[in-house]
């Protein structure tokens, strides 16, 4: 049997059309398959590899930590240096009210933890989320996912959840003194890169404060420089009560986190104690990798270059078949007429060695979220691949 056949028969499948590349090596923005064919990773493994693949500092940190120890005990019992050091470093780069980090295994678990924390702190159960939002695939996170098609087959889900439109007054009007929290993505990812209005985000914050509800920002995709600042909320001058991180947080290793003020977080230590439990959350190797990646990210000036590179993409992505391009830093959604047009263009790009994908709630949009280390020459090269792919699909070649 080929590896492809083994993949299809023994690795549980949920996609009817997996990309199915067999990569043997990845470095920087490039990946190579079993036949030696080179690919550019235009989506950073879904916004994970913000500093590129196989960064030597990250590899060294992983190897050093593996030599010291891997798993020791469940979360929060021993003082594990990589966890402590990474929590300290993260909080150094965050506003002072985001000073206590609960490390999880994944983004979805960070969402779960944040919802539990909000319920615990407020003693309320109502949660407000956005249509077209994605916060993870476990049952709590699925309950706040903003699309009935994706939720419905798994009902019953959590009760007392309200979905309203991102950027809408209706969402703000829904917040009242029974609301535990409002959970929003600082920049909506899977709706195809939608930015919030600054006024809306500020009103959201003041209304939450007035009503005693917690404001949760999901920056699992938007964080770590993707939008041109370390955290996306910095663009809007709004600090959440709870911040969700994941993806690039682990520098290529699995890691998530929900972060809040210690006075809120402490509610998970009593009545009941152990308010959130995880065996592997904050794994020492993941924390060592994540910390090395964050250090590299802030030492280099890749974040400062994001704006110029975004503009270059916007200038190069001009074609009369492109309906619009939405962007938030090095994160773009290229909109086509339909999924039926977008998908073959993506497939054509992959054939030509540029790996992209579509968005969960915007299947007519092509995803661009390259490692921030991408050069201007590479951006031009990629855009010409996209242009020729559009031409070929429309000419039926």
- Interface residues with ligand PLP (CB under 6 A) are 46, 106-108, 111, 134-136, 185, 189, 218, 220-221, 246, 256
Q: Which is nearer to ligand PLP, 285 or 379 (CB)?
A: 285
Minimum gap (Å) between residue 167 Cβ and ligand PLP: 16
Selection from 340, 347, 345 nearest residue 19 by Cα? 347
Q: Which is nearer to ligand PLP, 118 or 390 (CB)?
A: 118
User: 33 in the Ramachandran plot: left (φ > 0), alpha (ψ -120 to 50) or beta?
Assistant: beta
What is the maximum alpha-carbon separation in the chain? 65
| Closest residue by beta carbon to ligand PLP | 107
CA–CA separation, 284 vs 288, rounded Å? 6
Apex CA 256: angle with CA 286 and CA 235, to 5°? 115
Q: Which is nearer to ligand PLP, 98 or 383 (CB)?
A: 98
Q: Which is nearer to ligand PLP, 366 or 393 (CB)?
A: 366
Selection from 43, 94, 123 nearest residue 229 by Cα? 94
Q: Which is nearer to ligand PLP, 43 or 175 (CB)?
A: 43
Radius of gyration of the chain (CA): 21
User: 148 in the Ramachandran plot: left (φ > 0), alpha (ψ -120 to 50) or beta?
Assistant: alpha
CA–CA separation, 125 vs 389, rounded Å? 49
Collapsing DSSP to helix, strand or coil, 129 comes out as strand
Q: Which is nearer to ligand PLP, 313 or 359 (CB)?
A: 359
Minimum gap (Å) between residue 237 Cβ and ligand PLP: 21
Give the neighbor-by-neighbor strand order of the sheet with 324-327: 324-327, 332-335, 362-368, 358-359
Quickly list H helices, 159-239: 169-174, 198-211
The distance from CA 188 to its chain's CA centroid, rounded to whole angstroms, is: 10
Minimum gap (Å) between residue 14 Cβ and ligand PLP: 13
Collapsing DSSP to helix, strand or coil, 204 comes out as helix
CB 258 within 8 A of CB 110: yes
Q: Which is nearer to ligand PLP, 106 or 267 (CB)?
A: 106
Minimum gap (Å) between residue 135 Cβ and ligand PLP: 5
CB 313 within 8 A of CB 332: yes
Identify the bridge partners of residue 355 per DSSP, sorted by sequence position: 41
Minimum gap (Å) between residue 150 Cβ and ligand PLP: 13
Q: Which is nearer to ligand PLP, 190 or 378 (CB)?
A: 190
CA–CA separation, 106 vs 245, rounded Å? 9
Q: Which is nearer to ligand PLP, 214 or 393 (CB)?
A: 214
- 276-306 burial, b for 16+ CB within 10 Å, e for fewer? bebebbbbbbbbbbbbbbbbbbbeeebbebb
Minimum gap (Å) between residue 36 Cβ and ligand PLP: 30
CB 251 within 8 A of CB 58: yes
Q: Which is nearer to ligand PLP, 193 or 393 (CB)?
A: 193
């Amino acid at each position: 049997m080929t590896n492809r056949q083994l993949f299809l028969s023994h690795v549980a499948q949920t996609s009817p059309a997996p990309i199915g590349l067999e990569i043997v090596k990845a470095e920087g923005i490039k990946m190579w398959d079993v036949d030696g064919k080179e690919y550019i990773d235009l989506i950073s493994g879904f916004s994970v590899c913000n500093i590129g693949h196989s960064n030597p500092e990250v590899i060294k940190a992983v190897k050093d930590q593996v030599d010291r120890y891997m798993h020791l005990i469940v979360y929060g019992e021993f003082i594990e240096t990589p966890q402590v050091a990474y929590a300290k470093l993260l909080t150094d780069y965050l506003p002072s009210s985001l000073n206590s980090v609960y490390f999880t295994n994944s983004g979805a678990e960070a969402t779960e933890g944040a919802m539990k924390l909000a319920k615990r702190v407020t003693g309320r159960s109502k949660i407000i989320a956005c249509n077209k939002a994605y916060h993870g695939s476990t049952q709590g996170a699925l309950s706040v996912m903003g699309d009935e098609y994706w939720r419905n087959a798994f009902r019953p889900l959590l009760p007392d959840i309200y979905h309203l439109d991102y950027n809408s007054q209706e969402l703000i009007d829904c917040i009242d003194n029974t609301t535990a929290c409002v959970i929003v993505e600082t920049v909506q990812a899977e709706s195809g890169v939608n930015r919030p209005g600054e006024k809306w985000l500020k009103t959201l914050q003041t209304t939450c404060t007035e009503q005693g509800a917690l404001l949760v920002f999901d920056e699992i995709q938007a964080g770590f420089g993707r939008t041109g600042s370390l955290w996306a909320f910095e663009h809007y001058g709004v600090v959440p009560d709870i911040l969700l991180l994941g993806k690039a947080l682990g520098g290529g290793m699995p890691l998530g986190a929900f972060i809040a003020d210690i006075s809120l977080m402490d509610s998970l230590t009593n009545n009941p104690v152990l308010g959130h439990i995880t065996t592997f959350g904050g794994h020492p190797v993941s924390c060592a990798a994540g910390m090395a990646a964050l250090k590299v990210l802030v030492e280099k000036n890749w974040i400062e270059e994001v704006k110029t590179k975004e503009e270059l993409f916007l200038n190069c992505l001009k074609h009369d078949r492109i309906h619009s391009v939405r962007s938030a830093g090095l994160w773009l959604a290229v909109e086509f007429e339909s999924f039926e047009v977008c998908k073959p263009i993506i497939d054509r790009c992959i054939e030509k060695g540029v790996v992209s994908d579509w968005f969960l709630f915007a299947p007519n949009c092509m995803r661009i979220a390259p490692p921030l280390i991408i050069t201007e020459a590479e951006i031009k090269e990629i855009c010409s691949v996209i242009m020729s792919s559009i031409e070929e699909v429309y000419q039926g070649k």
